[in-house]
């Protein structure tokens, strides 16, 4: 009986040890997996501090929609009624073309590739958004701008003669017909269509070259690589208008749309050439014609406050220049 009691005690003790070991291992595994999953959500890229940190519930996360369509293609070209209604309301021309017919002519001509689908925990894509403010003059930002993976320039902002301050590389040029400019064969043309006629002009510029006027005279053609054309989706334009400018103004400015576009494709966003000079003047770095950042179409004040908040929340880095 004594031996039997000893064996029973030893068996129970062994079971207890096994249970403790199993439970401890389960806790460790659960804790590790939970921590790893949290870290993956917290840091979706390989940068030291990812601007698109989705691990916190805050203003940015409430506004930011990672699944919104960025670029237009044949598979997503059918617009929701609310998107089409808002976008069609931007048309300021007397003749409004048939959207469906125009889209059918777009994508046999231009590529439909997604260039930014490689996001992940191993990527750290740095991007420079280069505006046209006079505050770039004497900034010596050129090498810093060129060191980014992507260099996005807006409208007609030139580099020749200004390389020391604005850099010499251009990977993407943002434009629409009224701001079109020739570019080299290696640059992506990121086209912002504010009206259906803009899409017609884009087709014409690479084919018949018969459209030379919208609401103003525009070039009938441009030098650009047809295989590097990308077209911003009207859904994205409305999303920025509703989520980020809270429906202020008629539609977002080109600069603000560009900044929000870059926030969706880049891991580290560096902003140059936005805002006034230190003297409070608003003019381009390539001319001294004074410009207005507030007009009847754009809510410049609200956009500026939103950009400041993005900076304060460390979603972007703003370089303000010296002039």
Asked whether residue 229 is assigned to any structural domain, the reply reads yes
Average pLDDT of 225-230?
96
Question: Tens of pLDDT along 149-179?
Answer: 999 999 999 999 999 999 999 999 999 999 9
Q: What is the pLDDT of residue 196?
A: 94
Residue 216: the pLDDT is: 93
Could you tell me which residue, 296 or 156, shows the higher pLDDT? 156
How would DSSP label each residue in 265-287?
H-SEEEEES-S--TTS--BBTT-
Choice between 251 and 93, residue whose per-residue pLDDT is larger: 251
Residues 6+ apart with CB under 8 A from 157: 130, 131, 132, 166, 273, 284, 285, 286
The pTM (predicted TM-score) of the whole model is 0.83
- Give 54 or 273, the one with higher predicted confidence: 273
| Lowest pLDDT segment from 44-58, 176-190, 221-235 | 44-58
Distance in angstroms (rounded) separating the CA atoms of residues 77 and 299: 28
pLDDT of res. 145: 98
**At 36, is the pLDDT very low, low, confident or very high (cuts 50, 70, 90)?**
very low
Confidence of residue 287 (pLDDT cuts 50, 70, 90): confident
Q: Give one DSSP letter per residue of 224-261, joined into a string.
A: --GGGEEEB-HHHHHHIIIIISTT-SSS--HHHHHHHH
Asked if residue 92 belongs to a domain, the reply is no
Please tell me the predicted confidence (pLDDT) of residue 188: 96
The answer as to whether 152 is a domain residue is yes
To the query of whether residue 298 is one of the catalytic residues in this protein, the response is: yes
Q: Are 238 and 97 in contact (CB under 8 A)?
A: no
Higher pLDDT, 35 or 310: 310
Question: Per residue in 61-86, pLDDT tens?
Answer: 999 999 999 999 999 999 999 999 99
**102 in a structural domain:** no
Q: Which of 37, 30, 31 is nearest to 54 (CA)?
A: 37
Confidence (pLDDT) at 91:
82
- Contact in structure between 44 and 53 (CB atoms under 8 Å): yes
Residue 280 lies in a domain: yes
Quote the domain boundaries for residue 295: 59-70+118-194+223-319
Query: Could you say which of 64, 176, 251, 285 is catalytic?
Result: 251
> Please, are residues 110 and 139 in contact by the beta-carbon 8 Å criterion?
no
Q: Which residue has the higher pLDDT, 203 or 291?
A: 203
Residues facing 229 on adjacent strands: 189
290 within a domain of the structure (yes/no): yes
More confident residue, 295 or 90: 90
The reply to whether 284 belongs to the active site is no
Q: Which of 69, 172, 283, 298 is catalytic?
A: 298
**Mean pLDDT for the stretch of residues 207-230:** 95
Q: How many domains does the chain have?
A: 1
Q: Output phi, psi for 244, to 5 deg.
A: -105, -30
pLDDT at 23: 41
Q: Is residue 151 part of a domain?
A: yes
At 141, which CATH number? 3.90.1480.20
- The verdict on residue 101 lying in a domain is no
């Amino acid at each position: 009986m004594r031996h039997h009691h000893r064996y029973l005690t030893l068996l129970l003790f062994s079971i207890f040890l096994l249970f403790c070991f199993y439970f401890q291992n389960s806790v460790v595994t659960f804790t590790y997996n939970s921590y790893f999953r949290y870290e993956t959500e917290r840091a979706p890229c390989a940068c030291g501090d990812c601007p698109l940190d989705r691990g916190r519930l805050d203003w940015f996360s409430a506004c930011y929609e990672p699944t919104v369509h960025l670029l237009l293609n044949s598979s997503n070209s059918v617009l929701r009624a609310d998107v089409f209604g808002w976008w069609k309301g931007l048309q300021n021309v007397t003749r409004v073309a048939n959207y469906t017919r125009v889209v059918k002519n777009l994508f046999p001509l231009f590529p439909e590739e997604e260039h930014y689908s490689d996001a992940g925990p191993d990527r750290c894509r740095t991007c420079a958004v280069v505006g046209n403010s006079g505050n770039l003059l004497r900034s010596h930002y050129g090498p810093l701008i060129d060191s980014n993976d992507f260099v996005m320039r807006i409208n007609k902002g030139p580099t020749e003669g200004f390389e020391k301050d604005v850099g010499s590389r251009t990977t993407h040029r943002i434009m629409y017909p009224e701001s079109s400019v020739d570019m080299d064969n290696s640059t992506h043309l990121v086209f912002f269509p504010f009206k259906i006629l803009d899409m017609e002009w884009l087709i014409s510029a690479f084919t018949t070259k018969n459209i030379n006027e919208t609401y103003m005279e525009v070039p009938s053609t441009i030098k650009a690589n047809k295989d590097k054309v990308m077209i911003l989706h009207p859904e994205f334009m409305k999303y920025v208008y509703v989520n980020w400018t809270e429906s202020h103004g008629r539609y977002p400015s080109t600069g603000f749309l560009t900044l929000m576009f870059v926030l969706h494709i880049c891991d580290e966003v560096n902003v140059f050439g936005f805002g006034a000079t230190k003297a409070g003047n608003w003019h381009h770095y390539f001319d001294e014609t004074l410009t207005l950042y507030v007009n009847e179409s754009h809510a410049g004040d609200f956009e500026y406050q939103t950009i400041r908040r993005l900076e304060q929340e460390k979603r972007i880095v703003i370089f303000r220049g010296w002039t």
